[in-house]
Amino acid sequence: MPYAFSLDDVAFLRSAEGVRVLAECAALDASRIADVEAARRVAGERAAAVLETVVLRRKAKVKLDAEGWLYTSEALQQASASAVARHRASRLTGRDVHDVTCSIGADLAELAKVARRTLGSDVDEVRLAMARHNCPDVPLVRADALRPVSRGTVVVADPARRDARGRKWRPEDFAPPLDGLAEVYAGRDLAVKCSPGLDWTALPWADEVELVSLDGQVREACLWTGDLASTARRATVLRSDGPQWTVTSDEPDDVPAGAPGEWIVDPDGAVVRAGLVKHYGARHGLWQLDERIAYLTGDTPPPGVRAFRIVEHGPYSEKTLKPLLKRHDVGRLEILVRGLDVDPDALRKRLKPRGDGEATVVLTRIGRSPVAFLCEASRIPF
């Protein structure tokens, strides 16, 4: 169970003594008995809070651009990665913004850099106390998100999607519920962060749905309303090592299905979840192998993607795939699957590739027929 911080814990961690103790314990490992004893000698009754903070700060380094922050475990899990929060905030540049579920302040910190004025509120007094430490220059107030305490601002919300029993999937079970937010803030521009697996088709009040990925992993959906919306659906792809880009439902989607080209392209997950595979294909001169499958094909892959040059292809069966791998001396094998009920890990164990080379096998269907593509994977530069 994660440690439950108290207001007294937060007050200690923010104090000069707490800062000193945290620095002294920064290298300790909470899984080692000797280190736990060392923390108790230094921090006394606050040892558990100190060790939990040390652990959470280490975890936060791979997600947040923050130094010396305070966290709870659940708040850190739900916090947007800084690159994603920064992108969302960029759409609110120059506006007055109220983050009504500010939690520990991960989104608030990015909003404060670009908004004209920023306000944060939360119903959880411990997280709010942490936000006061993490975002010292932003005015904060304790308030229920469904009881408005501001006027004329853009409203930003990130409803909780977990409780003691686990993750919640239905929008009405979020805290606060999505429809409740839409009702309370009707007539105001609203941006609501959600899980990327949300069925947003059941939320007609969302004027724009944006799916966002970072370094190939889909991180969130954001629902935009009013003047904040500029298209019905958007996919935004963020990269740590290259430029970001976006594709929208306003772009052409006249993409046929046809015979395989030289390459197979597996579109970014944000593009797939936003239902923009055809729009992305049309932009880059690609076409689909099958109109119901998200793989694209063509003779020139787009920049900045990992694409797969087709070496050989034909009808798929395990019986024919084994000699194909042997013929090409494949030992290190990646298996990608769309449209077929195949477990890649289980299949790889059954195939037992033994060669010195490496390859990617793409398994899919064209019409009703299962097809296997033996490919060479390549990272296309920007």
Q: Are residues 363 and 281 in the same domain?
A: yes
Whether residue 85 is contained in a domain is answered as yes
Q: Are residues 199 and 87 in the same domain?
A: yes
Whether 166 shows a pLDDT value over 80: the answer reads no
The two tokens of residue 41 are 């000698």
Rounded to the nearest integer, the mean pLDDT of the chain is 94
Q: Are residues 97 and 162 in the same domain?
A: yes
Q: Are residues 93 and 34 in the same domain?
A: no
**pTM for this predicted structure:** 0.92
Q: Are residues 215 and 111 in the same domain?
A: yes
d(C-alpha 184, C-alpha 232), whole Å? 22
Give me the mean pLDDT over the 240-262 stretch. Answer: 94
Q: Are residues 82 and 52 in the same domain?
A: no
165 confidence band (pLDDT: 50, 70, 90): low
Cis peptide before 176 (omega within 30 of 0): yes
Q: Are residues 211 and 136 in the same domain?
A: yes
d(C-alpha 220, C-alpha 270), whole Å? 9
Whether residue 336 is contained in a domain is answered as yes
Whether 348 shows a pLDDT value over 70: the answer reads yes
Domain hosting 194: range is 76-238
Give me the mean pLDDT over the 145-153 stretch. Answer: 96
Whether residue 66 is contained in a domain is answered as no
Q: What pLDDT, in 10s, does the model give residues 321-337?
A: 999 999 999 999 999 99
Q: How much of the chain, in percent, has pLDDT values that exceed 90?
A: 86
Q: Are residues 151 and 292 in the same domain?
A: no
Q: Are residues 90 and 217 in the same domain?
A: yes
CATH code of the domain containing 88: 3.40.50.150
pLDDT at 171: 81
In Å, what is the CA distance from 273 to each residue of 64, 213, 225, 252, 379? Answer: 25, 10, 19, 18, 22
The two tokens of residue 374 are 């033996």
Among residues 341, 363, 330, the alpha carbon closest in space to that of 264 is found at 363
Whether 382 shows a pLDDT value over 80: the answer reads yes
Whether residue 25 is contained in a domain is answered as yes
Whether residue 174 is contained in a domain is answered as yes
Whether residue 249 is contained in a domain is answered as no
Whether residue 252 is contained in a domain is answered as no
Whether residue 244 is contained in a domain is answered as no
When divided into structural domains, the chain yields a total of: 3
Q: Are residues 156 and 114 in the same domain?
A: yes
Q: Are residues 108 and 150 in the same domain?
A: yes
Residues in CB range of 138: below 8 A, 6 or more apart? 105, 108, 109, 112, 118, 119, 120, 131
